[in-house]
Structure 1
Amino acid sequence: MYQQFNEQFAAATRQFADTAAQVNRLALDNAEAVFGLQIAAIEDRVNATFAFFGEAAEARDFDALKTLFPKGVQVARENVERAVSTGQEAFGRTLKTNEAIAELAKSQVETAAKATQANVEKATKAAAKAAAPAATAAK
């Protein structure tokens, strides 16, 4: 009996470790993708901002500064838009990853429930089988 319990416990532990490894892989893949997405957005926006600052440094008179104002507003607007879109994309990727993790957890719970149900049915049949000769002997 202890051997059977130990085998079931070892199998459950292996299954849990495999699931934990899958969850960790999904989480790390998501973190890597989100980090890369954010780095690309920062790089793009820093390049645009420094290009604007380069133009601003070359301005020598008031008319040049007047033409820079709309460009500055455009750069600021693009920076905000890119930050928002990057945040939304990162949120979407994270949401999909969390759904995948939840699906893994759901499948593990279903598998454990099926295994438990099978063990209960097996034990019930064994108990009924053992009780049948005792019931006939009592008559």
Structure 2
Amino acid sequence: MSYQFNEQFTAASRQFADAAAQINRLTLENVEKVFGVHFTTLGENANATFAFVNEAIEVRDLEGVKALWPKGAQIARENVERLVSAGQEVIGRTVKTHEAIAELAKSQLESATADVRAQAETVAKAAAAKSTAKR
């Protein structure tokens, strides 16, 4: 009896470890992609801002400042748009990752339930067989 329990416990532990490894892999892939999106956005925003700053440094008169003002507003708007777009992409990727993890957990739960049912049916049949054998 303890051998069966040990086997069941070992199988359940192995299944749990496999599921945990898959969840960790999915999570790490998501984190890698999220950091990539953020670094790309940061780089694009920094390049645009530094280009604007370099242009602003060259301005020597009031007319140049007046011409520079709309460009600065445009750069700021584009930077915000890139940030919002990156945020939406990150949220989308994270939702997909969470869906994959939920599906994995659901399949693990269904598998464990099926294993428990099979074991319960086996025990019930054995008990029924012993009961009819005693009569």
Alignment TM-score, normalising by the size of structure 2: 0.98
Give the structure 2 partner of residue 125 of structure 1: 125
Which segments of 5 or more consecutive residues in structure 2 lack a partner in the other structure? none
Structure 1 residue 65, shift from structure 2 partner? 0.8
Q: Aligned equivalents of 2:38 and 2:121: distance in 1? A: 53
Count of aligned positions: 135
> What is residue 17 of structure 1 aligned with on the other side?
17
The structure whose RCO (Cα within 8 Å, separation 6+) is larger is 2
How far is the alpha carbon of 1:5 from its aligned partner? 0.6
Structure 1 runs (4+) greater than 2 angstroms displaced: none
Query: Match of 1:73?
Result: 73
What is the identity percentage for the equivalent residue pairs of Structure 1 and Structure 2? 58
Q: Which amino acid aligns with 2:113?
A: A
Q: Deviations over 1:29-88 (max 9, x none)?
A: 000000011000000000000000000000111111111111000000011111111011
Structure 1 spans left out of the alignment, 5+ residues? none
For residue 133 of structure 1, report the CA deviation from its aligned partner: 1.8
Q: Distance in 2 between matches of 1:103 and 1:32?
A: 21
1:4 corresponds in structure 2 to 4
Residues 1-139 of structure 1 mapped to structure 2, 5 A cutoff:
1-134=1-134, 136=135
Tell me the distance in 1 between the aligned counterparts of 2:116 and 2:8.
Answer: 10
* CA RMSD across the alignment: 0.6
Give the secondary structure class of the aligned counterpart of 2:60: coil
When normalised by structure 1's length, the TM-score is 0.96
Q: For 2:118 and 2:54, how far apart are their aligned partners in 1?
A: 72
